[in-house]
Amino acid sequence: SLSRTLALIKPDAMKANHKDEIISKIKENGFTIVQEQQLLLSKEKASMFYKEHDGKPFYQDLTNWMSSAPIYALILEKQDAIQSWRDLMGPTDSNKARDTEPNSIRALFGTDGSQNATHGSDSQTSADREIALIFGEESSVEKEESR
């Protein structure tokens, strides 16, 4: 059935002006954009968003970077939305993506293994948590009611 995931366009892709091209790809691939918003994350919110990576060597750089400049957040809806969006993004490392999935979003619009253009939720539990964190609890309530 239809499900929802959270997509973020990260600061590298925003600064390189790739937002509109990424949104075109999202629409071409059959996703419905349920909500969208440009925002600047606080360091605190970025740390909560990535809490599963707390303790990893890249955690501080990642959360500093994600709160350093505007990002663009989208709630995407589609059949099997989480896996479908991850397939469209391609591998985490944009350099690897260019070798293996040259038409993927991270291959086309990302930089390297940390600045990789976009984020996608990795499970339904993560998607629900991330959507609530970015768009507020109301957006998850709305989803529960429409199930």
- Summarize the annotated binding site as residue ranges: 10, 58, 86, 92, 106, 116
Could you confirm whether 18 is annotated as catalytic?
no
Q: Which of 113, 132, 139, 142 binds ligand CMP (CB under 6 A)?
A: 113
Q: Determine the Cα–Cα distance for residues 14 and 122; give it in Å rounded to an integer.
A: 22
At 60, which amino acid appears?
Q
Per CB under 6 A, which of residues 70..109 are in contact with ligand CMP? 92
At 41, which amino acid appears?
L
For tokens 């925003």, what's the residue?
14
- The answer to the question of residue 116 lying near ligand CMP (CB under 6 A) is yes
Q: Determine the Cα–Cα distance for residues 58 and 81; give it in Å rounded to an integer.
A: 27
Could you list the residues that contact ligand CMP (CB under 6 A)?
53, 58, 62, 92, 113-114, 116, 119
Active site residues: 119
